[in-house]
């Protein structure tokens, strides 16, 4: 435990000193979201922006041609993908693909933690957006998706700080899964809140990062509840750092508050399992 506290303090000192390359808001994603807020947006402008990046194009075409979308003919261009998926879905998948690029570290010791962090962020983003649509909160769908993507970004801040510590260490950094979880549970919400609060984003995103684990639902808005419920589904499925198979999302207060049924949450669990296992990506 003392070693955990010592390493946690070193991590927090690094972050406080500004010695960590922190994630920044993705400019392409922000631009795409800004364009599509206009009901008269030009689809060709969206297609042109996405097509500038070969990696993004490849990922979007992969998803567009997946069995989930059930297309009978091969999709070969981003424009064809936009027609198949719709512009809002194309933008959300672009956000996912670009954000994934932040989840990298140099230290081989830390690499096993980065994948689960990303898997959880992606699952909760997709899950929160899906819940918003299914529960009649379509006006919150994009916000729920982004909030889900950011809700545990403090974990990425911590692993980036540990990566910097590993680079400067005279001896190889040794960190067990249990020690990483201890550091993560102690600081990810605080560090994530500080990061998102520093960005030029609506306050509600920082509030989601801070409050999605809070037990008192009295002052929590719909957006926080959507993310918290998707988070519980993902944790029950062991998608991410925090797994808890004892969780029963359908019995959670968020489910009752939002009106999410057992059947709906079972369907979401199946979709998120498919995402985690790389079989398909659901439309949200």
Q: 230-251, pLDDT tens digit by residue?
A: 999 999 999 999 889 999 999 9
Per-residue model confidence as pLDDT tens digits over 203-224: 999 999 999 988 776 678 899 9
Determine the topology of domain 1-19+106-284 in CATH: Hypothetical protein af1432 (1.10.3210)
Instruction: Flag whether pLDDT at 281 surpasses 60.
Output: no
Instruction: Flag whether pLDDT at 5 surpasses 80.
Output: no
Split at pLDDT 50, 70, 90, the class of 66 is low
Split at pLDDT 50, 70, 90, the class of 201 is confident
Within 13 Å and on the Cβ side, how many CA atoms surround 251? 4
**Amino acid 84: pLDDT:** 77
Region 258-282 average pLDDT: 81
Instruction: Flag whether pLDDT at 170 surpasses 80.
Output: no
114 contacts 103 by C-beta, under 8 angstroms: yes
**Range of 5-9, 199-203, 231-235, 278-282 with top mean pLDDT:** 231-235
Within 13 Å and on the Cβ side, how many CA atoms surround 55? 7
131 contacts 226 by C-beta, under 8 angstroms: yes
**Amino acid 223: pLDDT:** 95
Q: Where are the domains of the chain?
A: 1-19+106-284, 24-101
C-alpha span between 124 and 97 (Å, rounded) = 15
Per-residue model confidence as pLDDT tens digits over 33-61: 788 888 888 888 888 988 888 877 887 77
Instruction: Flag whether pLDDT at 274 surpasses 90.
Output: no
**Amino acid 70: pLDDT:** 54
Structure tokens at 242: 């925090």
Region 59-76 average pLDDT: 68
Distance between first and last Cα of the chain: 41
Tokens 């206009």, located at residue:
38
Per-residue model confidence as pLDDT tens digits over 102-153: 899 999 999 999 999 999 998 999 899 999 999 999 999 989 999 999 999 9
Region 250-261 average pLDDT: 95
Q: What percent of the chain has pLDDT over 70?
A: 92
């Amino acid at each position: 435990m003392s070693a955990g506290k010592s390493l946690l303090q070193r991590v927090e000192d690094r972050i406080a000193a500004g010695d960590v390359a922190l994630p920044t808001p993705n400019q392409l994603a922000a631009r795409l979201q800004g364009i599509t807020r206009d009901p008269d947006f030009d689809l060709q402008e969206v297609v042109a922006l996405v097509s500038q990046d070969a990696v993004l194009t490849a990922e979007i075409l992969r998803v567009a041609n997946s069995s989930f979308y059930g297309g009978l003919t091969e999709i070969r261009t981003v424009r064809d993908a936009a027609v198949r998926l719709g512009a809002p879905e194309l933008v959300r998948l672009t956000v996912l693909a670009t954000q994934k690029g932040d989840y990298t570290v140099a230290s081989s010791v830390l690499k096993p933690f980065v994948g689960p962090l990303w898997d959880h962020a992606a699952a909760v983003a997709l899950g929160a957006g899906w819940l918003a649509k299914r529960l009649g909160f379509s006006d919150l769908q994009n916000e729920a998706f982004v909030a889900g993507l950011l809700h545990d970004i403090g974990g990425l801040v911590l692993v980036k700080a540990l990566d910097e510590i590993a680079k400067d260490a005279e001896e190889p950094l040794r960190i067990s899964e249990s020690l990483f979880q201890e550091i993560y549970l102690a600081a990810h919400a605080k560090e994530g809140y500080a990061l998102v609060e520093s960005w030029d984003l609506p306050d509600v995103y920082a509030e989601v990062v801070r409050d999605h684990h809070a037990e008192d639902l009295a002052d929590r808005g719909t957006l926080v509840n959507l993310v918290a419920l998707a988070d519980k589904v993902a944790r029950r499925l062991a998608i991410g750092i925090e797994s808890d198979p004892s969780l029963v999302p359908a019995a959670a207060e968020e489910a009752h508050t939002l009106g999410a049924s057992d059947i709906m949450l079972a369907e979401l669990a199946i979709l998120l399992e498919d995402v985690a296992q790389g079989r398909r990506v659901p439309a949200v």
